[in-house]
Amino acid sequence: MKFEVRVEVRLRPGIADPQGATIEKALPALGFQGVESMRVGKVMRFTVEAVDEAAARAEAEAMCERLLANPVIEDAEIEIKAGALR
């Protein structure tokens, strides 16, 4: 079976996010007031072949641990859906 995987990699709480801070500071110049807690992360989408959803999730978790995220500074959140990515 094919599964669509979406991995969101984000900086852990407390890790400086100067990109987020800079974007947050730029928004009021465009008239967007009251924006706070802006954080910039990464989203990776891909398709994996696995016997079931649990296996697909285990595969994605292993990828996050070994490559997709650096656990010192980043957290990863995984979403799985049946079906190939279009």
Partner 1 sequence: MTTRIGVVVFPGSNCEHDVVRAVGIVGGADSDGGAEAELVWHGTTSVDGFDALVLPGGFAHGDYLRPGALARFSPVMEAVTRFAADGGPVIGICNGFQVLTEAGLLPGALQKNKGLRFLCTTVPVQVCSTRTPLTAAAEEGAVLHLPVNHFEGNYICDAATLAALQAEDRIVLRYTENPNGSIDDIAGICNEARNVVGLMPHPERACDELTGATDGMSLIRGILGVGHRTGVPAGTVSARG
Question: Cβ of residue 70: shortest distance to partner 1, in angstroms?
Answer: 6
Binding residue for partner 1 (CB under 8 A) from 35, 58, 73, 82? 73
Q: Taking CB under 8 A as the rule, does residue 21 contact partner 1?
A: yes
Using CB under 8 A as the binding rule, the residues of this chain from 22 to 61 that contact partner 1 are 22
- Total interface residues for partner 1 by CB under 8 A: 13
| Burial of 50 from C-beta contacts in 10 A (0-12 / 13-18 / 19+) | middle
How many CB atoms lie under 10 A from the CB of residue 74? 16
Distance of CA 44 to the CA centre of its chain: 7
Question: Cβ of residue 51: shortest distance to partner 1, in angstroms?
Answer: 27
- 76 is written with which tokens? 């990863």
